[in-house]
Amino acid sequence: MKSQDIRSTFLNFFKDKQHSIVPSAPMVLKDDPSLMFVNSGMAPFKEYFLGNAKPKNNRIADSQKCLRVSGKHNDLEEVGYDTYHHTLFEMLGNWSFGDYFKKEAIAWAWELLVDVYGIDKDILYVTVFEGSAEDNLPMDQEAYDLWKSFISEDRILMGNKNDNFWEMGEQGPCGPCSEIHVDIRSAEEKAAIDGKTLVNMDHPQVVEIWNLVFMQYNRKANGSLEPLPQKHIDTGMGFERLCMVLQGVQSNYDTDVFTPIIREIETISNKPYIPIVGTSRDLSNNGDVSNNRDVSNNQDLSKNGTSNPITDSHQQEEINVAIRVISDHVRAVAFSIADGQLPSNTGAGYVIRRILRRAIRYSFTFLDQKEPFIYRLVDVLSKKMGDAFPELKSQKQLIENVIKEEEQSFLRTLDQGLVLLNRVVEESNSNIISGEKVFELYDTFGFPIDLTALILREKGLELNEEGFHLEMKKQKDRSRAAGEMSTEDWTVLMEDDVQEFIGYDFLETNVKITRYRKVVSKKDGEMYQLVFNLTPFYAEGGGQVGDKGYLTDSNGDIVYILDTKRENNVAIHFTKNLPTDLKGTFKASVDAKQRRRTESNHTATHLLHQALREVLGEHVEQKGSAVHSKYLRFDFSHFSKMTPEELSDVENFVNARIDGKLDLQEQRNIPMELAIKEGAIALFGEKYGDTVRTVRYGKSFELCGGTHVKNTSDIWYFKLISEGAVASGIRRIEAITNDAVKDYYQEHDREFYRIKGLLNNAQEPVKAIQSLQSENAELKKQIENLLKEKAKNLKGDLKNELTEVNGVQFLAKKVDLDASGIKDLSFEMGQQYDNLFLLFGAENDGKALLSCYISKELVESKGLNAGTIVRELGKHIQGGGGGQPFFATAGGKNPAGIEKALEAVAEYLK
Ligand code: ATP
Ligand code: MG
């Protein structure tokens, strides 16, 4: 069965069981402080499990893109070494939100695997939670009894809390689970070792494929469990592992999900992928790829019949690992970029950068790829997966550009790192290279430690790993101390399902606090987070900043709201202090001035988006947006710098819409499909609910949850401030509107009068400046001539000062010339005299300069070298330098040493 059909069979199966099929949510999470990426199918539905929102249908199924590279679930270091963990993988899942529970979940899983996909039940094992004394939980008898009716009891295994109690993070919904494992080893292998003993033992052919989680608890901050108000089902099946089973292969990388990419890597690198059956995990000891390894079944190396030039199985296995790493990582990176997450130096972007760099490192070291090539794999990837994930097709060029640019820059880093590493090696007088130095290479230049270790080993040197890890730990401790944050459990004051946002229509209303908690962080100290029953405060999201404002209690006392953020679909209001009467009613007031300016920038952002698509073309896609009260920033895909004409066209286009006094037309709760059908622009990588809000001004028509002006004339004026590149193929515009434009022009006005003042209030300042400029140029020319004249005179004087030392015409003297004057003088004298040796010293702007000229014939006959000489003399002036054998210069910070240098050279020549 082809992978596409495997996916659609899963979805159709659950569709027939009354599940709504939804598309995969974007991988990058935007409103969940505890999680950076979706790491399991349930993450996008967390708000349903927490009761913050209600799904339209209690049964949902999908295939969700997951990324396990950070936080609680981090498989990054496994990837490549084993054959069944990926960074990015698809998780097939079915959900029940307070609807069906264990009975149906277990029966349907069995029906799908055995009856629909036709998996032989004798290769299956299932596990059941054995209970946990620590959490005071009994064994999951209910699940055990249900499984009994499908599978023989000797295939039902007990599992501990580690394997059979699923938790998304440190806090939040959790519950016992049952996993389904497959044993796809050969009959002989099965006869030799009982499969039971291999379940959950990291055997590459005895792996977990599906986890059925029975969500029934909530883990609190203090570690205790409380029952969830409703019981839920959350299942996740690894799509690539399922394909491995159904396609009868031994590794995820041998399924049609990966083989096209692997073939392409083979073609480009001219290195074969010849997997050795069995695990290569022992290669990964300490993450060190070059440990020696004894591959017992060498005959596998030639199993595909091609002649294999690589006879060393160890070397072949390194290539295999590299090819698996690259084929995996290119998917993760491409999907992230398509989701709008570009590689960067912080947060989620940094994780993506690290994944890509890991792939580059492996291709650099084991596939000998010294030029960018990973970007060339995007083509196959988008052809192969573009039907299921159209974003890979529509954004192919951008993905390629971004990856290529990252590759180029990291390969440069590797090059520089090699030079620096060589220097470290040269300077070291021991066979063991200090961990501190290597850490510096790693930390400052991003030069990877494993590569350092490898290179050192090739040179017969060792790395002080302990020292390195110590430095690493020190740094981690430093950053942990800086970012430390603790969050208390919520104190619930009032039950209320879903907080309502009324801020589109009101900036002030009476509210009650439904729950609050304390958070402590190094950065902000102690803060409180409040949730209201309803709120006029806009919570940061969709690029727009959160509202500020204040609460007034019945006594007229005020508590300031410093920020509003969104967390799993709930608006959280931040305060420094708790109100005294928490249960009272408060008047909640939004800072209207800030909100008005922010709205103005948000609407202008929509108009700007429209303008860019109009002026530059439909390929323009929003790639990021920040709407503040003071300015707006807009990132978009476009492949060249905007011309001045394009910029002014865009500015004029927006201002024409402002002059056009267009009314806001909004639809608040319309079905997503309908909005799209009507032509509203949706943003890629943004998570939308079943119903959406649309915002329209004339022909600008977008899905948007942000707040906007009632009429475009409220924006007053739109002014572009800057345009530039953020990454290859991504441009950034910054602009201002409204009051900020007034401030901008007022500031320019003041600046203008300051300039006029300096020009003695000239009637025509431009003319005045032009005349100053030409006067200045004239004066410069005169000075130059004077200096030339001076040098000529000097040359005449110097003639008498030449002395002869050992057949050399010698002069060492301090002169009052700059570097280029000295150079001219030296070369002119060099034309006049043979066997010349000149050393000039000069002091300019408090800095010392030494310049040495030696006639070519002296360089040849006496083996003199100006470069070596100035380097040596440079010590006197506390500096260094170099150059060629016949002419070299040194600069230093100690002019007092010039005389010493002059004396030293005379001494030297004698
Ligand atoms: P494992 O123990 O094999 O790492 P897990 O217990 O971490 O698996 P779950 O968190 O239960 O896995 O995820 C559900 C399913 O997702 C698994 O049964 C497996 O099929 C798949 N899966 C988990 N992690 C990965 C991964 N890194 N790459 C590919 N598939 C994965
Ligand atoms: Mg795992």
Judge contact between 159 and 179, C-beta under 8 A. Answer: yes
Q: Is the model's pLDDT at 61 over the cut of 50?
A: yes
- How far apart CA 123 and CA 654 sit, in angstroms, is 65
String of b and e for 327-353 (b: at least 16 CB within 10 Å)? Answer: bbbbbbbbbbbbbbbbbeeeebbebbb
**DSSP string covering 696-713, please?**
EETTEEEE--S---SBGG
Query: What's residue 299's pLDDT?
Result: 34
Counting residues of the chain whose pLDDT is more than 70, the rounded percentage is 96
Instruction: Name the DSSP letter for residue 137.
Output: B
Dihedral of the alpha carbons of 413, 415, 420, 423, in degrees to the nearest 10 = 180
Q: Is the model's pLDDT at 84 over the cut of 50?
A: yes
- How far apart CA 34 and CA 171 sit, in angstroms, is 9
Q: Is the model's pLDDT at 292 over the cut of 50?
A: no
The residue among 428 and 500 whose pLDDT is bigger is: 500
Query: What's residue 497's pLDDT?
Result: 61
Probe ligand 1: pick from 211, 239, 240, 253, max atoms within 8 Å of CB?
A: 211
Residue 544 forms beta bridges with which residues? 541, 627
Tens digits of per-residue pLDDT, 708-741? Answer: 999 999 999 999 999 999 888 899 999 999 999 9
For the Cβ of 89 lying below 6 angstroms from any atom of ligand 1, the answer is yes
String of b and e for 394-431 (b: at least 16 CB within 10 Å)? Answer: ebbebbbbbbbbbbebbbebbeebeebbeebeeeeeee
Q: Which two tokens stand for residue 558?
A: 């005020």
Nearest in space to 327 (alpha carbons), one of 355, 303, 351, 353: 355
Query: What's residue 311's pLDDT?
Result: 53
For the Cβ of 68 lying below 6 angstroms from any atom of ligand 1, the answer is yes
- What is the fold of 3-243? BirA Bifunctional Protein; domain 2 (3.30.930)
Q: Global pTM?
A: 0.75
704 labelled binding-site residue = yes
Probe ligand 1: pick from 89, 168, 245, 246, max atoms within 8 Å of CB?
A: 89
- Domain 780-909, architecture per CATH: Roll (3.10)
> Of 70-74, 236-240, 599-603, which range is least confident?
70-74
Query: What's residue 599's pLDDT?
Result: 97
Nearest in space to 881 (alpha carbons), one of 905, 849, 907, 909: 849
Q: Is the model's pLDDT at 296 over the cut of 60?
A: no
Query: What's residue 306's pLDDT?
Result: 43
Strand 718-727 and strand 225-238: pairing? unpaired
Across 27-36, 359-368, 692-701, 871-880, the highest mean pLDDT is recorded for: 692-701
389 CA from centroid of ligand 1 (Å):
21
Distance of CA 740 to the CA centre of its chain: 32
Across 20-34, 353-367, 413-427, the highest mean pLDDT is recorded for: 353-367
Residue 300 binned pLDDT confidence (cut-offs 50, 70, 90): very low
Residue 19 binned pLDDT confidence (cut-offs 50, 70, 90): very high
Query: What's residue 276's pLDDT?
Result: 67
Q: Average pLDDT in the 861-880 region? A: 90
- What is the fold of 597-745? Threonyl-tRNA Synthetase; Chain A, domain 2 (3.30.980)
Q: Is the model's pLDDT at 633 over the cut of 90?
A: yes
632 CA from centroid of ligand 2 (Å):
41
Q: Is 765 exposed, middle or buried (0-12, 13-18, 19+ CB in 10 A)?
A: middle
Q: Which two tokens stand for residue 333?
A: 């990176």
Contact partners, residue 349, CB within 8 Å, separation at least 6: 341, 342, 343
Starting from the edge strand earliest in sequence, which strands make up the sheet with 700-703, in order?
665-671, 691-697, 700-703
Q: Which two tokens stand for residue 145?
A: 């009894």
Counting residues of the chain whose pLDDT is more than 90, the rounded percentage is 66
The residue among 443 and 610 whose pLDDT is bigger is: 610
Same fold, 3-243 and 597-745: no
Query: What's residue 428's pLDDT?
Result: 80
- How far apart CA 106 and CA 710 sit, in angstroms, is 53
Closest Cα to atom 24 of ligand 1: 85
- Position in ligand 1 atom list of the atom nearest CA 179: 18
602 labelled binding-site residue = yes
For the Cβ of 208 lying below 6 angstroms from any atom of ligand 1, the answer is yes
- Position in ligand 1 atom list of the atom nearest CA 238: 20
- How far apart CA 276 and CA 298 sit, in angstroms, is 8
Q: Is the model's pLDDT at 628 over the cut of 50?
A: yes
Judge contact between 36 and 351, C-beta under 8 A. Answer: yes
688 CA from centroid of ligand 1 (Å):
27
Annotated domain spans of the chain = 3-243, 258-411, 428-483, 486-590, 597-745, 780-909
Tens digits of per-residue pLDDT, 762-804? Answer: 889 999 999 999 999 999 999 989 888 887 888 888 888 899 8
For the Cβ of 239 lying below 6 angstroms from any atom of ligand 1, the answer is no
Question: In the CATH hierarchy, which top-level class contains the domain 486-590?
Answer: mainly beta
Query: What's residue 611's pLDDT?
Result: 98
Q: Which two tokens stand for residue 405?
A: 């640019």
Judge contact between 529 and 574, C-beta under 8 A. Answer: yes
Give the mean pLDDT of the chain.
90
